[in-house]
Each structure stands twice: as structure tokens, then as C-alpha cells.
């Protein structure tokens, strides 16, 4: 909106706002957290511990949004917009490999249940779109059977499809916040409410609007 104001030469004092892109890049960009996780999953002797060390060696000094707990070598911290969050590395590799077997998907595609068939059609469309995306980044000729998709890879592809859809539309958002952490009726915790509004960027949006 501020860019539109400047294009129309409307007198306006620029308002600084938090850019979350560096944090997003930390998670999903090349040599980011998910990329290093996928790489470790391909290693014959890959483990959660060796993945953690790769994260420290690659990101600790290079990325301001990444940190290491002082008393742990099997965890990492991401400085999200809302707050710092500590993640335990244990189980990441196992969960990242826990994808649905292709043979099971083929069985579902032969189902006579309409809902399952519709879901499979949507999955085929998503696969076609991500295949085009892969060709753009230099992976021409590589089929899904040649490289087993990890959970992290599927997440990034799904996110890209979502962003493509959002960019092609004019979405309207409804921001929902928790009035309190106790799930108590008719009780508002002002501090908690403001914290959520700030984390969602609502306060900055109001200032700009």
C-alpha cells in the first residue's frame, strides 16, 4: 500500500514494518533448514545428530535468525517474528522420510469412492505443477520415481502452489485471536491479545491504512 501511495504522489511518511522474508529463507531456501534436512535424508548414515551439526556449521554464523541452545547439541532456535522457538532435532529425519508409498496412492486412485478420486485428481494437478517448477530450476528429466519426495519437499511444493493461488487472486483475511490461554468464556487478556495482533502484523497494517 505504501508503494501505491508513492506512485500516486500522495504525501506520506514511510512506516517501517517487519520483513519476515529472511526467516522464511532460513527455513525453505537453498541450504536452509529443510534443504539440509532433505540432503541428510539421502545420506546412508544420516542421523539427527549429524544434521544438527550441519545446521550449526552452515547457519549459526551466517544467519541472524538461527541460534543454538547453550546446553544442547541436538536442538536449534529460530527467531520467528512472534518469538524465539526452540526445536529438538530428535526424530526429524524419521518424520521427513515418512511419506505415503506410491503403490498405496495408486491403489487409492482405483477406488470407487468419489471423494478419494477427487483428492487423487487434485494431487495429480499439484504434481504436474511442481514438475514444471522443477524443470525451471534445472531438474529436467528427473521423475518422481527417481527421487523419493520427502515430507519437507512436499511441504515446500504445496506452499509454492498456495502462494501461486494467492498471488492470482485478491484474498481477504479474517484474523482470529485467542482472548485468553485458559479457554475461559467472556474473559479477555489484553496483553495476550495485543501480542497476537502484533505477531500477525495487524497493528502495522492499521498504521499503514
125 and 147 together in one domain: yes
Bin 160: left if φ > 0, else alpha if -120 < ψ < 50, else beta: alpha
Q: Looking at the structure, do residues 85 and 106 belong to the same domain, yes or no?
A: no
Give a yes or no: residue 118 inside a domain. Answer: yes
Give CA–CA dist 5/102, Å, rounded. 51
Q: Give the side-chain half-sphere CA count within 13 A for 190.
A: 0
Q: What is the pTM of this model?
A: 0.68
Residue 3 lies in a domain: no
Helix (H, G, I), strand (E, B) or coil at 126: helix
Q: Is residue 44 part of a domain?
A: yes
In a shared domain, residues 145 and 196: no
Residue 136 has pLDDT above 70, yes or no: no
CATH at 61 = 1.20.58.530
Mark whether 194 and 141 lie in a shared domain.
no
Tell me, yes or no, whether 14 lies in a domain: no
In the chain, the number of structural domains is 3
Whether residue 54 is found in the same domain as residue 118: no
**Inside any domain, residue 13:** no
Domain membership flag for residue 11: no
For 139, the domain range is 102-167
Mean pLDDT of the chain: 83
pLDDT digits (tens, 9 = 90+) for 53-97: 999 999 999 999 999 999 999 999 999 987 899 999 999 999 999
Same domain, 106 and 161: yes
In terms of Cα–Cα distance, which of 69, 73, 74, 76 is closest to 26? 76
Amino acid at each position: 500500500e505504501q508503494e501505491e501511495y508513492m506512485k500516486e504522489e500522495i504525501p506520506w511518511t514511510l512506516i517501517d514494518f517487519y520483513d519476515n522474508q529472511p526467516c522464511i529463507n532460513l527455513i525453505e531456501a537453498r541450504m536452509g533448514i529443510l534443504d539440509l534436512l532433505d540432503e541428510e535424508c539421502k545420506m546412508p548414515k544420516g542421523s539427527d545428530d549429524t544434521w544438527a551439526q550441519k545446521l550449526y556449521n552452515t547457519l549459526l554464523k551466517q544467519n541472524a535468525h538461527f541460534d543454538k541452545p547453550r546446553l544442547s547439541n541436538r536442538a536449534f532456535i529460530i527467531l520467528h517474528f512472534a518469538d524465539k522457538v526452540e526445536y529438538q532435532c530428535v526424530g526429524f529425519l524419521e518424520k521427513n522420510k515418512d511419506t505415503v508409498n506410491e503403490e498405496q496412492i495408486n491403489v487409492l486412485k482405483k477406488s470407487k469412492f468419489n471423494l478419494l478420486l477427487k483428492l487423487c485428481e487434485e494431487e495429480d494437478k499439484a504434481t504436474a505443477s511442481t514438475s514444471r517448477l522443477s524443470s525451471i530450476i534445472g531438474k529436467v528429466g528427473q521423475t518422481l520415481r527417481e527421487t523419493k519426495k520427502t515430507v519437507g519437499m512436499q511441504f515446500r511444493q504445496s506452499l509454492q502452489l498456495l502462494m501461486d493461488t494467492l498471488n492470482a487472486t485478491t484474498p481477504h483475511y479474517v484474523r482470529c485471536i485467542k482472548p485468553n490461554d485458559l479457554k475461559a468464556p467472556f474473559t479477555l487478556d489484553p496483553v495476550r491479545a495485543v501480542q497476537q495482533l502484533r505477531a500477525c502484523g495487524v497493528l502495522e497494517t492499521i498504521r499503514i491504512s
